[in-house]
Amino acid sequence: MNDERADKNQKKGSWKRGIIVWLVLLLAIVIGALVWLAMPPKEPVYKGKTLTYWLAHYAISGPDGQEPTNQMNECKEAVQHIGTNAIPVLLRMLKAKDSTLKLKLMDLAERQNYVHLPLRSIEDDKMVVPLGFMLLGDAGTNAIPELINIYEHPPSDESKEVINAILMQFYPAPAVADAHWVPKKERAQWYMTAGMSRLENDLGSSESSASSNAKLSNAILAFSTAIRLDPKLLQAYASSAAARFQLRDFTGTILDCTRLLEVSPTNETGFHIRGLAEFAAKNFKDAEADLTRCIALQTNDFEAYNYRGLARVNMRKFDEARADFNKAIQLNPQDGTGYRNRAIVEGTQRDFELALDDVSKAIQLTGRGEPDPAAYLTRGRLETGLKDYESSLDDFNKSIELAPKDPTGYACRGGTYVFMDDFEKASADLEKSFQLNSDNALAFIMRGILKMKKGGEDDGALADLKRANELSPQSPETYEALGALQYKISDWPAALENCRTAVKKANFVRMSEAFAYIWLIRAQSGEKDAADTELNGYLKSMPPDKTNEWNAITVRFFTGSVPESNYLVLATTSAKRASEIKGQVCESYYNAAMKRKIAGDKQGAAELFQKCLDTKYDNSFDYFNAIAEMRALKKP
């Protein structure tokens, strides 16, 4: 009985041990299978690390990653070193599909906490494949036929999406120029998306200008194809226009927007982009019209108000421009652009203190993010206008630091050096400005003044000021400077024409020298009464709030309603700020001296010319004209 029970227990124990052995074997098989499934296929290596390592490392090394950008460069070097040997691996990843067994084992592995294995779905790994082809560049185009084949017979929806992105990445390579693998009804959108991918890749890119321009051109080609396939695809017109704008193809931008508006006459984006292009092309009247239509369609577009305001500044519609900038600030008070732009019009109207407050506010706001070099440039110009040259140099230096390829910064700083009589530094800055942009109107103006101040280069100065006038025909300041120099060299007919144009374009902003030269030319030509009539006509057209400013005082002096003694006093007392006094005093002595000379009082004229020179204000044409007049009076 006991032997029989012992035999049964022995058999039962053997059966349990057998089950345990089989369970252990099964677990070993499962673990082995999991390990086998977790092991990646053999890959090409660089510096002992696999292709997928480099791709994964590149993916986490962008601006938001923890590793520096040079890590991305190393990854790129690794993939390019591996070269076409990477293609079979990348294609294999796209073809791969998780087996049913792997999916079940992954699910099993997730349900228990005893054994941890690095199992990943192949679909997750596919996300780095586009990076591989991107880093391979043209070397990866050989894979296009096989990519299309996989796309047409995809192992998964994820593979199809990834391949679609890769083929767009290769556009417009010959093998993908015709997207025949895409259903006809979806092709227009395919080209649209391909174009957008080129634009997105270009944003914030540190690539060379040529590479960036090539991407933009490819985007335009894609958008054009999309439009050909679907002429009503509005986004394609707008995106093409935006790409052309980035290429500074303003004519093409305007044409694209015009076509967009033919299809969709009330398209706010079309008016917006066309308005910006018209502004960039200096078609200010058309820009104003388009941006007005844009605002009518979208009243909260603060950028449209800003650019319409700038167009109006260039059209000398200062009050309307200020209203636009006020509205832009109201709509977006945390954006510094509106304050900076309002400072521009305030500075043009010589409200320097208000302008300084606004541009300093703009700098404060932009200081929270990326600094705005244009704001520092604007403040520097205002400080130059206030004769605060040291502060203006600090701001111009900051502007150049932020935008070293902007020619305007060098032209402005060079101009300040001209006013400070530091001719060597002025010449160096103006030369740098011309290297960056050989058609910089401001640089020509300042070089012309530099040549005049240095002496003996009036012909060169005249050529520079004429060129500035050609490049900036809307600016009254270029006409006044040119007219003043032409007066100095006795080309009176040309001087008279340019001074009249300056007064007309200035819209009552200070042009006292132009008024003076108009009267002096006509009076010395035997037309004093006609000169009085002409200046009185200007006086009558001035707004009431302008009739006590230096412009009007100068006109009244020449026409006889302000006596000389009062005029010389008003040069000081009418100045809006201390920085204007020296210039107005220099000007008043010169003008009074010229009236005495014309009246035949040579001795009195000489005394006043000397007082003009005693001001040492050599940033005025009157100062240099006084030198010439003194020489002439000393001749026997």
Beta bridge partners of 45: 50
Asked if 277 contacts 260 with a C-beta cutoff of 8 angstroms, the reply is: no
Tokens (6 digits) for 73: 């460069």
What pLDDT shows up at residue 511?
A: 82
Predicted local confidence at residue 125, as pLDDT: 72
Q: Evaluate whether 352 touches 577 at the Cβ level (below 8 Å).
A: yes
pLDDT at 61: 64
Residue 556: what residue type? Answer: R
Beta bridge partners, 46, equal 49
- Angle subtended at Cα 297 by Cα 291 and Cα 300, rounded to the nearest 5 degrees: 80
| Beta-bridge partners for 50 | 45
Tokens of 4: 């029989």
Residue 226, both tokens: 């999309």
Residue type, 583: G
Q: Across 501-601, where does the E strand assignment appear?
A: none
Torsion (CA) 579, 581, 583, 588 in degrees, nearest 10: 170
Torsion of CA 331, 332, 333, 337, to 10 degrees: -120
Contacts of 151 by beta carbon, 8 Å cutoff, 6+ apart = 159, 160, 163, 164, 167, 181
CA distances from 2 to 14, 459, 497, 575 (A): 18, 134, 136, 129
DSSP state of 62: S
Asked if the bond preceding 172 is cis, omega within 30° of 0, the reply is yes
Rounded Cα gap, residues 509 and 516, in angstroms: 15
The Cα 570–Cα 439 span in angstroms is: 40
User: Which amino acid is located at 511 in the chain?
Assistant: M
Report cis status (omega within 30 of 0) of the bond before 41.
no
pLDDT at 69: 66
d(CA 207, CA 68): 17
pLDDT number for residue 370? 79
At residue 455, the pLDDT reads 86
Question: How far is residue 437's CA from residue 448's CA, in Å, rounded to a whole number?
Answer: 17
Across the chain, mean pLDDT equals 86
DSSP per residue, 313-380: HHTT-HHHHHHHHHHHHHH-TT-HHHHHHHHHHHHHTT-HHHHHHHHHHHHHHHTTSS--HHHHHHHH
- Say if residues 387 and 579 touch (Cβ distance below 8 Å): yes
**What are the structural domains of the chain?**
21-181 (no CATH), 188-333 (1.25.40.10)
Q: What is the pLDDT of residue 554?
A: 94
- Contact between 476 and 505 under an 8 Å Cβ cutoff? The reply is yes
User: The tokens of 515 are what?
Assistant: 């008024």
DSSP, collapsed to helix, strand or coil, labels residue 208 as coil
Spans of the chain, pLDDT less than 70 = 1-41, 61-69, 98-124, 201-208, 367-369, 508, 636
